[in-house]
Amino acid sequence: MANKIEIKYNGESFELPVMTGSENESAIDIGKLRSMTGLVTLDYGYKNTGSTTSEITFLDGEKGILRYRGYPIEQLAEKADFLEVAYLLIYGELPTKEEYEKWTRDITHHTLIHEDFRTIFEGFPSNAHPMGVLSSLVTSLTAFYPKSLDPERSMGELNMSIVRLIAKLPTMAAWAYKNELGFPLNYPDNAMSYVDNFLYMMFALPVEKYKVNPVISRALNKLLILHADHEQNCSASTVRLVGSSHASLYVSISAGINALWGPLHGGANQAVIEMLEEIIEDGGDIDKYIKKAKDKNDPFRLMGFGHRVYKNFDPRARIIKQSADEVLSALGVEDPVLEVAKKIEKIALEDEYFIQRKLYPNVDFYSGIIYRALGIPTEMFTVMFALGRLPGWIAQWLENRKNGEPIGRPRQIYTGVNERDYIPLENR
Ligand SMILES: CC(C)(COP(=O)(O)OP(=O)(O)OC[C@H]1O[C@@H](n2cnc3c(N)ncnc32)[C@H](O)[C@@H]1OP(=O)(O)O)[C@@H](O)C(=O)NCCC(=O)NCCS
Q: Is the sign of the CA dihedral 416, 419, 425, 426 positive or negative?
A: negative
Q: Which of 414, 411, 397, 415 is nearest to 31 (CA)?
A: 411
Q: Which pLDDT value is given to residue 378?
A: 87
pLDDT at 151: 62
Place 337 in a pLDDT band, splitting at 50, 70 and 90. confident
Residue from 224, 235, 105 nearest 173 by CA? 224
Higher per-residue pLDDT: 239 or 182 = 239
Which protein residue has the closest C-alpha to ligand 1 atom 6? 308
Residue 153: predicted pLDDT:
67
CA of 61 to the centre of ligand 1 (A): 14
Q: Which atom of ligand 1 is nearest to the CA of 272?
A: 44
What are the phi and psi torsion angles at 95 (to 5°)? Answer: -70, 150
DSSP secondary structure of 307-336? -SS-SS--HHHHHHHHHHHHHHHHHT---H
For ligand 1, whether the C-beta of 301 sits within 6 Å is yes
Q: Please give the average per-residue pLDDT across 230-257, as a whole number.
A: 97
Angle among Cα 48, 317, 92 to the nearest 5 degrees reads 65
Q: Could you give the CA distance from residue 196 to residue 211 in angstroms, rounded to a whole number?
A: 9
Q: Between residues 304 and 313, which one has the greater pLDDT?
A: 304
Q: Among this protein's residues, is 364 annotated catalytic?
A: yes
Range 300-312 average pLDDT: 85
Whether residue 291 contacts residue 275, with contact meaning beta carbons closer than 8 Å, is answered with no
What is the pLDDT averaged over residues 283-308?
Answer: 92
* Cα 307 to ligand 1 centroid, rounded to whole Å: 7
Q: Residues 32-91: pLDDT tens digits?
A: 999 999 999 999 999 899 999 999 999 998 899 999 999 999 999 999 999 999 999 999
Q: Which CATH class is domain 72-407?
A: mainly alpha
Residue nearest to atom 28 of ligand 1 (CA): 357
Q: Report percent pLDDT > 90 for the chain.
A: 72
Helices marked H in 145-264 — which ranges? 155-181, 194-203, 214-226, 234-244, 249-261
- Of the candidates 287, 307, 314, 325, the residue annotated as catalytic is 307
Q: What is the pLDDT of residue 382?
A: 93
Q: What is the pLDDT of residue 168?
A: 97
104-113, 193-202, 364-373: which range is least confident on average? 364-373
32 lines ligand 1 (CB under 6 A): no
* Class of 4-65 in CATH: mainly beta
Domain ranges of the chain: 4-65, 72-407
**pLDDT by residue (tens digit) across 139-180?**
999 999 888 887 666 778 899 999 999 999 999 999 999 988
Name the closest-CA residue to atom 14, ligand 1.
Answer: 357
Distance 361 CA to ligand 1 centre (A): 11
Give the chain's mean pLDDT. Answer: 93
- Other Cβ atoms less than 10 A from the Cβ of 196: the count is 19
Length of the chain: 428
- Which run of H or E residues covers position 58? strand 57-60
- CA of 303 from ligand 1 middle (Å) equals 9
